[in-house]
Homo-oligomer: A and B are copies of this chain.
Amino acid sequence: MSHLQSLNTYFETKREVHLDELKQFLRIPSISAISAHKQDMKTAAEWLADSMKKIGLENISIDETKGQPVVYADWLHAEGLPTILVYGHYDVQPVDPLNLWETEPFDPQIRDNKLFARGASDDKGQVYMHLKAIEALLQTDGKLPVNVKFCIEGEEEIGSPNLPDYLMTNTDKLAADIIVISDTGMQGPGEPAVCYGLRGLAGVQIEVKGAKSDLHSGLYGGGVQNAIHALVEVLDSFRDEEGTIQVEGFYDNVIPLKDEERTAYASLNFDEDALKAELGVDALFGEKGYTYTEQTWARPTLEINGVFGGFSGEGIKTVLPAEAGAKITCRLVPNQDPDEIVAKLTAHIEKYKPIGVSVEITEFDKGKPFITPFDHPAIQAAGRSYEKIYNVPTAYIRGGGSIPIVAAFDEILGLPVVLMGFGLSSENIHAPNEHFHLENFDQGLRVIGDYYYEIAQFTKEDLKK
């Protein structure tokens, strides 16, 4: 019997037991944002540790941090073979507004083959799948094909304030060859996706100051610089009419898209018309020469997030404004460096600053972009595992946003990151009536189980980034 057949049989037999057990996990209201749930956080961590113990993981510890504890466990008996570090989180989002939930958020219910509960998709359900995949392998084979470590934190929904510290003080304990995270989504129902890159972030606030105070536009207008007009001149200089950013050197370190990547994205047949209808716009707009998918996944951006100055109340006030400001952020792609981009933005602003005003620049928090090469064996292996179970081609995607914790893993542990998500964008994560499609629970268990075998084919050397 092939390992896939064994897994199939095991998961079919155990389905009810597994779902009942997951419901127990989901009944614990482990909301990290609300201090009244401190005890629930502890309960969830203990439930997880207990569950890990039951399936045969070892060296289980509930590691205290300045905030909520991290639950660690491992199985390290595949000597000389690669080690997979699984990251996930046991905390969940708050549940307000409660009256919009059809059933209680912490009373899990299955309707229409969907499991409704806070955390069902994000991320308890997906963490639990990894545990059950391990359980299945140990039960059917007596061992795992590779080494495994688990690092499940309790503060992801509040921005993982203590995880970077934890990673830095536990680099040996967490040493591995690849990191697998199941906390993202698929492309759509029946459309599996491996995410191999995320964008980074850098930004500044620009404050333009002209005269000491607002002036009468009749008395001074035409002879004194208008702070808003000066700001607008700077802001407009950032990009040309075709959407290309004009900051000198902005694209210098951008790793160009590989032909295979462009082909892979094109094969997704992204429906631009559907997006236009969804957003209510008559046209999309982005950097010339790139498709929408390429623009949002693999190209850097410069967005004006906010602008303010002068009179914004009802009607007219003929003021010549003395101050104006804007917030701008850039989404970065490998290998752009956030510090370097801020330096280039600053130089650009200084260069385009009109006369008659001064400009102050304040930096925002920065985040590095991340990419695991598209052709990395761990990425391609994940794609193969999906394809075996879903029987369709896997989408190799990047994410336009930034997941700070992924960047932290990338930076602190320096390992290839594989984002293997099983959620769907329709599943109301962070909103009332969160749910998880059980077909992806069922198929995902098999994908994960298979993935351990896939990775076992490689040497540790093969997996080096």
Contact = CB atoms under 8 A, between A and B. Distances in A.
Interface string A225-254: 110110111011011010000000000000
A231 B231 CA distance: 12
A211 B275 CA distance: 10
A222 B319 contact: no
A56 interface: no
Per assembly, the copies of the chain total: 2
A169 interface: no
Interface residues of A, number: 78
Nearest to A235: B232
A324 to B, nearest CB: 7
A17 interface: no
B224 A284 contact: yes
Interface in A199-229: 199, 201, 203, 210-212, 215-226, 228-229
Interface stretch (A34-42, A86-94, A122-130, A309-317): A309-317
Nearest to A365: B316
A157 to B, nearest CB: 17
Contacts of A225: 281, 283-285
B233 A233 contact: no
Interface stretch (A134-142, A297-305, A371-379): A297-305
Interface string A373-399: 000000000000000000000000001
19 contacts: A203-B318, A218-B331, A218-B401, A218-B402, A219-B400, A222-B295, A222-B300, A223-B285, A226-B303, A228-B305, A229-B235, A232-B307, A233-B241, A285-B356, A305-B318, A308-B308, A308-B312, A316-B327, A316-B365
Interface of A: 199, 201, 203, 210-212, 215-226, 228-229, 231-233, 235-236, 238-239, 241, 279-287, 292-293, 295-296, 299-301, 303-312, 315-321, 324-327, 329, 331, 354-358, 364-365, 399-402
